[in-house]
Amino acid sequence: MAENLKVLASLEDSDEYMLLSLCKEEKGNFPDDIEILRRALRIPEKVVCSNRTTARGIDGLCMVLRRLAYPCRLEDLEYIFGRSKTELSLIINEVLDYIHDNHCHLLSDFNMSWLSQECLERFAGAVFDRDGPLDSCWGFIDGTVRPICRPQENQRLVFNGHKRSHALKFQSIVTPNGIISNLFGPIEGRRHDAGMLRESDILAQMRVHMTTPQGRIFCIYGDPAYPVTDGYI
């Protein structure tokens, strides 16, 4: 591994295939898969940061993938990509912002092909086949607490009494295939799960997109922290 890191740090712009090959060896990602992912996310071939720092799109995506692989610090990436921590931070944030700005609707809109009535029927059937009490439950909702460093201001807003730490909270709905189909957040760590549900307004969307013409309502399952409604159990 150490030898690979030295090679990666000395790569030139023309050594794209070698970079991807070493990414495969280090992380198990196939070079073709990374390029396919870049095209699917429509990441441009050249990424330009706010201070004019530039990088190839494929390099920026590799940096993001490695950064999101826990545990990983920016200083760990210096030896892999031959960039300073400042440059790495700028490029990674630029690529992440691009992905969020162009694709965040995929995690907030229920009017998607993978949440069609046919898919909901299949999800509900999978839950029911595993001894689920209902044949209309298509997903599972829960909130998650992500700890953060104590802020200098507004500490009370982000302090979570249950976890006894400063944090941000997210709400997600996971389908039986293991995919996060809806994500809401972040919001202040002090907020209750029921408050997140109300603020996300997903129940109103579900009444529109999760009800069949015959009047059948597909619902989601969650813990007792959430209120019982037509679309939630």
Strand (E) positions, 49-136? 54-56
| pLDDT (average), residues 33-61 | 93
Please write the tens of the pLDDT for every residue from 167-212.
999 999 999 999 999 999 999 999 999 899 999 988 888 888 888 8
Alpha carbon distance 21, 8 (integer Å)? 10
At how many degrees (to 10) do helices 16-27 and 57-67 cross?
20
Residue 15's CB is within 10 A of a number of other CB atoms, namely 14
pLDDT for position 138: 93
Structure token digits, residue 108: 């907030």
CB contact at 8 A, 168 and 183: no
Which helix (H) or strand (E) covers residue 5, if one does? helix 2-9
| pLDDT (average), residues 91-115 | 93
pLDDT for position 69: 87
Please write the tens of the pLDDT for every residue from 64-73.
999 998 788 9
Domain boundaries, the chain: 2-105, 108-221
pLDDT for position 25: 53
